Amino acid sequence: MRFKHFLAIDWSGAKGPRQKGIALAFADGEGGPPVLIDRGRGWGREDVFALLRDDLPPDTLVGMDLGIALPFADCGAYFPGLEDSPKDAPALWALIDAVCAEDSNLEAGSFVADPRFAPYFRNGAATGLHFRCDGAEHGRGRFRVTEQAQAAMGCKPYSNFNLVGAAQVGKSSLTGMRMLHRLRGRLPVWPIDPLPDTGSVAVEIYTSLAASQDAQLRRIERGAGRIGIAASWWRRRDRRPFFRRAADRRMAAQGGRRSPSLGSGAAYARHRPHRGLDFRRAMIEGRSPRAYDASGRFSSVGRAVDL
């Protein structure tokens, strides 16, 4: 088995120190249901960055629900016609982080407002002159090869240059690229970086695709939510056993109730993990974080959190 742990991250480009849309699910390679990492006070982008930089357990496959770059292949450049347009993804990440150096909380407002780059985006006020420079018939903005493949599979992808609408992914992708730049040298990002033989690796994930591609995951979607599904899907793709049979049957039978505190991060739980949980130590020790029942007493992960 190449990886021992699987961490799925539902990202958010919203403003502020905390984002309700951020959720993290952790799955142990040995099996058992994925566990939602509940900090009790919500996640912020800086919190996730600190976890990936300092507290990630060894040999973890990290799946991030964000675009790791902007379209390039369609027009031969990230910003065609712009002098000194970045030549590759790491250079793009560095540029975004430099332009947004004064933006707190890993926000990216300065980048999309910069007159050099604004014409390539569609925001709430206007559609930039170069937003449709690819000339595609769909008119939804430029697509990476990734989005083109998603569309061919029946998905409905959105351009990373689009900043409008509830389904837009541009803001989350730009803020995520700031984090990826700051993780350079600590966490390789495939396929931007070669896949190492050992150690942790980050990849981009499309959570809806994980659910649609696997009938067994669709069957338990009500109990797992999309970010728990993503963690399990990556574990299964690493050719290890899926949920332990007992845990799988229990999860399918019990379903789950939505935990409103998780916001749009879309995870479901029958019980909330204890707010005092030292999940970082648990992850470093190579085991799933412990979960507690409603009274605060320790309970098995399979019973306490149905994710």
The pLDDT tens digits for 259-298 are: 222 222 223 232 233 332 344 444 434 443 333 333 333 2
Q: Which of 176, 11, 12 is nearest to 96 (CA)?
A: 176
Neighbouring CB atoms inside 10 A of 133's CB total 20
Q: What are 149-156's contacts with CB under 8 Å, separation 24+?
A: 150/206, 150/209, 153/209, 154/212, 155/206, 155/208, 155/209, 155/212
Query: What pLDDT shows up at residue 139?
Result: 84
Q: Which of 76, 163, 65, 146 is nearest to 111 (CA)?
A: 163
Q: What is the pLDDT averaged over residues 151-168? A: 88
- Do 183 and 170 contact (CB within 8 A), yes or no? no
Determine which of 1-15, 52-66, 199-213 has the lowest per-residue pLDDT on average.
Answer: 199-213
- Do 157 and 150 contact (CB within 8 A), yes or no? yes
- 251 compared with 194, residue with greater pLDDT: 194
User: At 199, is the pLDDT very low, low, confident or very high (cuts 50, 70, 90)?
Assistant: very high
Angstrom distance (rounded) from CA 266 to CA 226 = 6
Q: What is the pLDDT averaged over residues 50-75? A: 96
Q: Where are the domains of the chain?
A: 5-67+189-304, 89-179
Angstrom distance (rounded) from CA 228 to CA 288 = 13
Determine which of 97-101, 228-232, 281-285 has the lowest per-residue pLDDT on average.
Answer: 281-285
User: At 302, is the pLDDT very low, low, confident or very high (cuts 50, 70, 90)?
Assistant: very low
The residues, any chain, with a CB within 8 Å of residue 234's CB and separated by 6 or more, are: 6, 8, 27, 61, 63, 205, 210
Q: What pTM did the predictor assign?
A: 0.73
26 pairs with which residues across the strands?
7, 35
Q: Phi/psi of residue 231, each to 5°? A: -60, -40
